[in-house]
A and B are shown apart, each in its own frame.
Chain A
Amino acid sequence: MADHDPDSDSTPRTLLRRVLDTADPRTPRRPRSARAGAQRRALLETASSRRSSSQTKMTTRRHSHGARSISRSAYVQASGHLKEQTPRTLLKNILLTAPESSILMPKSVVKPVPAPQVVQPSRRESSLGSLELQLPELEPPTTLAPGLLAPGRRKQRLRLSMFQQGVDQGLPLSQEPQRNADASSLTSSLNLTFATPLQPQSVQRPGLARRPPARRAVDVGAFLQDLRDTSLAPPNIVLEDTQPFSQPTVGCSPRVYRSPPCMPHTGAEDTELAAGCKKRSSGPGMQTNSPEKLAQFLAGEAEEVDAFALDFLSTSSGVSGEDGVEPLQDGVEEAEKRMEEEGVSVSEMEATGAQGPSRAEEPEGHTEVTEAEESQGTAEAKGPGASSGDEDASDRAARPELVSSTPESLQARRHHQFLEPDPPPGAAVLSSEPAEPLLVRRPPRPGTTGPRPQQDPHKAGLSHYVKFFSFYAKMPMERKALEMVEKCLDKYFQHLCDDLEVFAAHAGRKTVKPEDVELLMRRQGLVTDQVSLHVLVERYLPLEYRQLLIPCASSGNSVFPAQ
């Protein structure tokens, strides 16, 4: 019978399945400690015997269907136990919601079996029975561990203790294997099984699962202190003015490539930023904040900046523009955070008195735009000015502001084109720019607009593309060449944004809409009579964007996204 492939994947999932199959659905499991050991053992014993039997509808259905998804739904239908708070129902919920794939290596059948036992009590406690329980799930097992340990073998005891450690520390999944490695080989595999309950949550976001936890938690106290310190000093926006091409900082590069959803990614980045900032700001006596503090501050600020960015955007581009921007923002936020952090850190370093809120505005407006990936205007906030002194800060403040206000909305529209061709995106500047430009980006007056600001604040985002460029070039490149590339990219993006602005004005609008972007792409020759914008969207953008950009009719005569 192919119910649970004992050979192929003896994952927690299969184990849980087995447990559910074999366990008596009607058994009330309230008094867990007493029954825990006995029940589990009974389950274990009966598991093998019952495996081949098709006693319950669920079992049969599960076996008959190959696909787990189908079995899941059948499971839900078949079981009316969801209302009951039994381990079975909890486990079921977990199985239903957990992702299919199991990241862990297949282990021996015996070892993983205890895992469900441990899991069960935890499930019992949680009313959700969902993957969100990651931490709460872990806690109960620690309390139950003693109960489990009694009948358990030495291996189990070791395993549980490791598990307990992990739960107590609340460390992410990746850390458990590390600790497991420390343990004996016997326990290592077992520990992995304990780790699996954590998998579902991370598996849902694979980008996070494998990431090494090289991040530091944000020091809230330091952050607040930094906020207070920075808000007091006058905005040092002049800094970025005369720093067109500051030396790239090594630390910034990793930041760029980090995926966005991980908010806690600031830790490593911040350290890098701090290091980079240190080098740059050694000369001018910028803020007194230590780099670490700044990093932390930036990390925390990045999130706040998002909110600011949204506000800023709305003020600058109008509400209607915001709608279009919103779909971007999700994806944009990543870049935003990146840029914000970079910019903020730099700005922090550079500007003695950067206005916190103003700065916050800049980064977010810029980051959003940058996310648009072509936006160079706002990206300039990141501008090169890291090495320059404070003198540029004030000028930059004006510039980024102007740049951010108009180009932002325009650039936000560029999401269509972010695959575009700008030939090798290359902005060598970014590495050096990080903090300063952000400072400049958000001058305290969002409403004012004046002559188009200079490029420095924009360069922050360009360095991102310069890095791509140098990567794809596959040969070493001179810094001058990279700077040239960055200049070209800057001009290119400026042109694009100008065009977008003009197109919107031509249609009598003040906000850039997708029609403007489509017109621009048509002029560029990307969108032709044969190739429409939707085709490009489908070809190059990830699925999430496609859902947002291409209206699709769904049931009930509704169209999403709403037109």
Chain B
Amino acid sequence: MEEEAEAEEQQRFSYQQRLKAAVHYTVGCLCEEVALDKGMQFSRQTIAAISELTFRQCENFAKDLEMFARHARRTTINTEDVKLLARRSDSLLKYITDKSEEITHINLERKARKKKKSEDGNHNSRELAEAGVVESEQ
């Protein structure tokens, strides 16, 4: 049992390391872009610090999101939870709100389009029924 726990621990740790590496790589790419943009160089320690910071902050975000979802008596994390998370920073909140609106809009459109396609491919009666359904959905 202890060995299993240890093995699991090891697995989790290695998984975490992989994730950290991925984050580090992404942060490095972003920093390169910014460096090119601003004409300043980023030292390795800076990139490492930023990536560590990002990783830990992601952990915090995850915990907070879970808490928010549970607080709203839900089991799935919602865009509302994400918005709640980002409320501190105005610009970030605005950005996320816009994005979320965009996403919901896209989803609605996609649904409508799917419904329409299925209607075209069916009989009239089915079309009518589905149209009714689509309308009700919308």
Q: Is A538 an interface residue when CB atoms closer than 8 A count as contact?
A: no
B84 in contact with A502 (CB, 8 Å): yes
B71 in contact with A523 (CB, 8 Å): no
Query: How many A-B contacts if CB must be within 8 Å?
Result: 22
B64 in contact with A523 (CB, 8 Å): yes
- Interface mask (B66-78 → A, CB under 8 Å = 1, otherwise 0): 0110011100000
Interface size class of A (residues with CB under 8 A): 10 to 19
Q: Which residue of B lies closest to A495 (CB)?
A: B88
B73 in contact with A522 (CB, 8 Å): no
A-chain residues with CB within 8 Å of residue B73 when the two chains form the complex: 507
Q: Is A515 an interface residue when CB atoms closer than 8 A count as contact?
A: yes
Q: How far in angstroms is the closest Cβ of chain B from A509?
A: 10
A-chain residues with CB within 8 Å of residue B80 when the two chains form the complex: 506
Q: Is B87 an interface residue when CB atoms closer than 8 A count as contact?
A: yes
Q: Which residue of B lies closest to A525 (CB)?
A: B60
Q: Is A465 an interface residue when CB atoms closer than 8 A count as contact?
A: no
A-chain residues with CB within 8 Å of residue B87 when the two chains form the complex: 502
Q: How far in angstroms is the closest Cβ of chain B from A59?
A: 62
Bound CA span A503–B73, Å: 12
- Also in contact, A523 and B84, with CB within 8 A (given A507-B73, A508-B72): no
Q: Quick one: which of A498-546 are within 8 Å of B by CB? A: 502-503, 506-508, 515-516, 519, 522-523
Interface size class of B (residues with CB under 8 A): 10 to 19
Bound CA span A507–B81, Å: 10
Bound CA span A515–B67, Å: 11
Bound CA span A516–B87, Å: 16
B-chain residues with CB within 8 Å of residue A515 when the two chains form the complex: 71
Bound CA span A369–B81, Å: 28
B67 in contact with A519 (CB, 8 Å): yes
A506 in contact with B67 (CB, 8 Å): no
- Also in contact, A507 and B72, with CB within 8 A (given A502-B84, A502-B87): yes
B67 in contact with A507 (CB, 8 Å): no
B71 in contact with A503 (CB, 8 Å): yes
Q: Quick one: which of B18-76 are within 8 Å of A by CB? A: 64, 67-68, 71-73
Bound CA span A508–B68, Å: 12
Bound CA span A32–B73, Å: 71
Bound CA span A523–B88, Å: 13
Q: How far in angstroms is the closest Cβ of chain B from A523?
A: 6
Give the B-binding residues of A (Cβ under 8 A).
502-503, 506-508, 515-516, 519, 522-523
The 10 lowest CB-CB distance pairs between A and B, nearest first, are: A507-B72, A519-B71, A506-B84, A507-B71, A506-B72, A522-B67, A519-B67, A502-B87, A502-B84, A506-B68
The 15 sampled A-B contact pairs (Cβ below 8 Å) are A502-B84, A502-B87, A503-B84, A506-B72, A506-B80, A506-B81, A507-B71, A507-B73, A508-B72, A515-B71, A519-B67, A519-B71, A522-B67, A523-B64, A523-B67
Q: List 8 additional A-B contacts (Cβ < 8 Å) besides A519-B67, A523-B64.
A: A502-B84, A503-B84, A506-B68, A506-B71, A506-B84, A507-B72, A508-B72, A523-B67
Give the A-binding residues of B (Cβ under 8 A).
64, 67-68, 71-73, 80-81, 84, 87
